[in-house]
Amino acid sequence: MTKNAELAAWVDQVAQLTKPARIHWCDGTDAENDAIIAQMLDSGDLIRLNEKTHPNCFLHRSDPQDVARVEHLTFVCTREQEDAGPNNNWLAPEEGHAKVDPLFEGCMRGRTMYVVPYLMGPYGSPYARAGVEITDSPYVVVNMRIMARIGQRALEHIEAGNSIVRGLHSTGDLDPERRFIMHFPDELMIKSIGSGYGGNALLGKKCHALRIASAQARTEGWLAEHMLILGVESPAGETRYIAAAFPSACGKTNLAMLVPPAEFDGWKVWTVGDDIAWMHLADDGQLWAINPEAGFFGVAPGTSLKTNPNCMNTLGRNAIYTNVAVTPDLQPWWEGMDGDKPAELIDWQGRPHDPANGPAAHPNARFTVAASQCPSFSPQGDAPAGVPISAIVFGGRRSTVAPLVFEALDWSHGVFAGAAMASETTAAATGKVGQVRRDPMAMKPFCGYNFADYWQHWLGFGPKSGKLPRIFHVNWFRKDDNGRFMWPGFGDNMRVLEWVLERCAGRAEAVKTPIGYVPEAGALNLDGLDLDRKTVQDLLSIDPRVWHEEIDQIEAYFATYGERLPQALRDQAARIKAALEDQLAA
């Protein structure tokens, strides 16, 4: 129940539409969580994992047709189609409502309707924003409790008069034909039906903290980005912060929790966030970032003590696993985990594992766990002001073309580098895996308005401050002619982060190329790495012919934004192309 009459009226109205058997206002307490978990264990919605090895951990198996985000069913409903842009599926607001409202009619009959007040961002942060998610999914409630700050304190924030994003969610009948994720930025409203999966259903995450928040950020002068936030502490005890954008399932969680290699004695990486950053230009001229989330919803397969020890040490307790496999004694298991594959496994669909059915864990199997449990969780992770960002890093998954790292020449060029990002698709969204697509700033699925306006918004920061972060582009995923990754990645990415921060401090050496500054031979610390000279050269090489073609493709992509495309981006493409042509002619 609430003192906020508007909120109470909306809850009433939703109840009349969806006809739940009962309404439960979530207070976020342990007792409440225990009761919901007990009821989910009863219904089979959750399975308790091995209490000895994984205390207070649970497995949830999704409907096999409901295991990833559904970009083709995700809509941004603005009055004008142009405002949603070619990067979004669009419906006029009244059409959007008309499409989903009938699906909500009576959809909660016999079910409990949970009202979940939540806060995105640290308590007491001027940058935190509230929302209320109404859902009939207890799985959503227990996950939201880990991912956001839910319950009484969030409700108090709302009752103090702060505005809210309203999210209505029902798993409906899970029929992909009746599944829609609708956003109404002008109404600060989300309606999601037919899916119980993460990004489709935990509405605080991608729907609120990215799609709706990016549109709010544009009008209010800040940035809501698909970025991890990490701190790098030097042996001298100085910590500098990096925000980095990568598409889903491209290693954000691993980078955020990086353990430096042995050669980096005394260096330490601190995790602030692994998925979303809200960044504001503060009075000191610096960009300060908060992580609006309180937990990690990370990809399980590939996570191991080798690839991400901090994550493995976070995961073993108080975690919810979704679509992983289990051993006969109910320990979670996934492909890429340490040790030998157990002889017997139950797969993610609950069947005895048969490799003929594919991997034992779904490739997009996930864990949900509190950030505060992470051994590398930053002492500044809950700081109301956030952390000052020294460098912004953009990165895609590209087996060719993009070098290991380059630095943009200036802010505008950095915005171009972000806007021109491309990456191979992953299992985080339904559809084909491994297709190269343009994924500007890793926001293709998440930008709640026209990308052309979004790039203009980014460009607009340039003249506002002389202390903006430097912008970089990285690619950990380049492959050699035999299809093998050339860069070891994971902890060794520290070598690139060190160069990035040294550049920010005005120290590391670089060569200027048409596409940006690339490390000079010897400027990257490769001590202790078994990489031959040729591989290092190839990793840092920029082939003018290949890049000329790349810029052609970038221009063709930009052209789909027509007149609305900022001239500065057209100019960047033309400048790079001319420089490449000079190189080819020489």
Encoded amino acid at 221, one letter? G
Strand extents, DSSP E, 415-491: 422-424, 436-438, 470-474
Closest approach, Cβ 201 to ligand SAT, in A, equals 9
Q: Kindly state the tokens that stand for 72.
A: 């083709």
* 374 vs 384: CA distance, rounded Å: 19
- Decide if 281 contacts 289 (C-beta within 8 A): no
Residue found by looking up tokens 């005005």 in the block: 506
Compare residues 100 and 428 and give the one whose CB is closer to ligand SAT: 428
Nearest residue to ligand SAT, by Cβ distance, number only: 199
Q: What residue 172 binds from ligand SAT, Mn ion, none (CB within 5 to 8 A, per partner kind)?
A: none
Q: Kindly state the tokens that stand for 104.
A: 């909500």
Compare residues 244 and 518 and give the one whose CB is closer to Mn ion: 244
* 368 vs 315: CA distance, rounded Å: 8
Candidate list 248, 308, 322, 513; residue touching Mn ion; CB under 5 A = 248
Nearest Cα to Cα of residue 54 among 304, 320, 300 = 320
* 458 vs 448: CA distance, rounded Å: 14
Compare residues 427 and 515 and give the one whose CB is closer to ligand SAT: 427
Q: Kindly state the tokens that stand for 140.
A: 């959503």
Total of chain residues touching Mn ion, rule CB under 5 A: 2
Compare residues 151 and 199 and give the one whose CB is closer to ligand SAT: 199
Greatest distance between any 2 Cα atoms in the chain = 76
Compare residues 199 and 469 and give the one whose CB is closer to ligand SAT: 199
Stretch that binds Mn ion, among 157-165, 267-275, 327-335, 522-530 (CB under 5 A): 267-275
Compare residues 195 and 307 and give the one whose CB is closer to ligand SAT: 195
Closest approach, Cβ 276 to Mn ion, in A, equals 7
Closest approach, Cβ 248 to ligand SAT, in A, equals 3
- Decide if 70 contacts 176 (C-beta within 8 A): yes
Contact footprint for ligand SAT (CB under 6 A): 69, 198-199, 205-206, 248, 297, 428
Closest approach, Cβ 191 to Mn ion, in A, equals 21
Closest approach, Cβ 469 to ligand SAT, in A, equals 23
For 170-238, the DSSP string reads E-TT--GGG-EEEEEGGGTEEEEES--SHHHH-TIIIIIIIIIHHHHHHHHT-EEESEEEEEEE-TTS-
Nearest Cα to Cα of residue 200 among 222, 178, 227, 229 = 178
Each residue 469-498 as x (binds Mn ion by CB under 5 A) or -, in order, gives: ------------------------------
Q: What residue 196 binds from ligand SAT, Mn ion, none (CB within 5 to 8 A, per partner kind)?
A: none
Closest approach, Cβ 302 to Mn ion, in A, equals 15
Does 250 participate in catalysis according to the annotation?
yes
- 122: helix, coil or strand? coil
Compare residues 33 and 200 and give the one whose CB is closer to Mn ion: 200
Encoded amino acid at 152, one letter? Q
Q: Where are the alpha helices (DSSP H) in 22-61?
A: 30-43
Closest approach, Cβ 328 to ligand SAT, in A, equals 29
Closest approach, Cβ 158 to ligand SAT, in A, equals 24
Radius of gyration of the chain from its Cα atoms, rounded to whole angstroms: 23
- Decide if 423 contacts 188 (C-beta within 8 A): no
Closest approach, Cβ 146 to ligand SAT, in A, equals 12
Each residue 269-298 as x (binds Mn ion by CB under 5 A) or -, in order, gives: ------x-----------------------
Compare residues 68 and 258 and give the one whose CB is closer to ligand SAT: 68
Stretch that binds Mn ion, among 7-15, 189-197, 244-252, 280-288 (CB under 5 A): 244-252
Active-site choice (250, 311, 374, 447):
250
Compare residues 10 and 446 and give the one whose CB is closer to ligand SAT: 446
* 479 vs 476: CA distance, rounded Å: 9
Nearest Cα to Cα of residue 276 among 248, 299, 301 = 248
Compare residues 215 and 573 and give the one whose CB is closer to ligand SAT: 215
H or E stretch at 227: strand 227-233
Q: What residue 199 binds from Mn ion, ligand SAT, none (CB within 5 to 8 A, per partner kind)?
A: ligand SAT
Q: Kindly state the tokens that stand for 6.
A: 């508007």
Closest approach, Cβ 26 to ligand SAT, in A, equals 20
Q: What residue 74 binds from ligand SAT, Mn ion, none (CB within 5 to 8 A, per partner kind)?
A: none
* 560 vs 79: CA distance, rounded Å: 20
* 501 vs 572: CA distance, rounded Å: 25
Q: What residue 69 binds from Mn ion, ligand SAT, none (CB within 5 to 8 A, per partner kind)?
A: ligand SAT
Stretch that binds Mn ion, among 229-237, 243-251, 452-460, 476-484 (CB under 5 A): 243-251
Nearest Cα to Cα of residue 366 among 428, 322, 326, 330 = 322
Q: What residue 498 binds from ligand SAT, Mn ion, none (CB within 5 to 8 A, per partner kind)?
A: none
The reply to whether 439 sits near Mn ion by the rule CB under 5 A is no
* 554 vs 415: CA distance, rounded Å: 13
Contacts of 251 (CB under 8 A, 6+ apart): 476, 489
* 321 vs 332: CA distance, rounded Å: 8
Catalytic residue positions, numbered: 250
Binding site for Mn ion (CB under 5 A): 248, 275
